[in-house]
C-alpha cells in the first residue's frame, strides 16, 4: 500500500525528470529516489 502523502510539485517534477532521463516509469523513479535517500539516511558516510 502506498502512503497518502502530499509531495510538493517541485519535488514531483524532479522525480519525473529523473524518470525520463533514466527511461523509467514514475513508480520506478520514486522507488529509486526513496531507496537512494534511505541509504543516505541510514549510512550517512
Does the residue 32 lie in any domain?
yes
pLDDT tens by residue, the chain, 45 residues: 567 889 999 999 999 999 999 999 999 999 999 999 999 999 977
Residue 3 belongs to a domain: no
Q: What is the pTM of this model?
A: 0.80
* Residue 1: inside a domain: no
Let me know if 10 is exposed, middle or buried by CB neighbors in 10 A (0-12, 13-18, 19+).
Answer: exposed
Residue at 4 is within a domain: no
**Residue 34, pLDDT score:** 95
Cα separation, 22 vs 29, in Å, equals 8
pLDDT at 1: 58
Question: Is there a domain that residue 35 lies in?
Answer: yes
Q: What is the pLDDT of residue 17?
A: 97
pLDDT at 22: 97
Residue span of the structural domain in which 34 resides: 9-42
What is the domain count for the chain? 1
Amino acid at each position: 500500500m502506498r502512503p497518502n502523502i502530499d509531495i510538493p510539485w517541485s519535488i514531483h517534477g524532479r522525480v519525473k525528470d529523473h524518470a525520463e532521463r533514466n527511461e523509467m516509469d514514475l513508480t520506478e523513479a520514486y522507488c529509486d529516489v526513496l531507496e537512494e535517500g534511505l541509504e543516505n539516511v541510514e549510512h550517512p558516510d
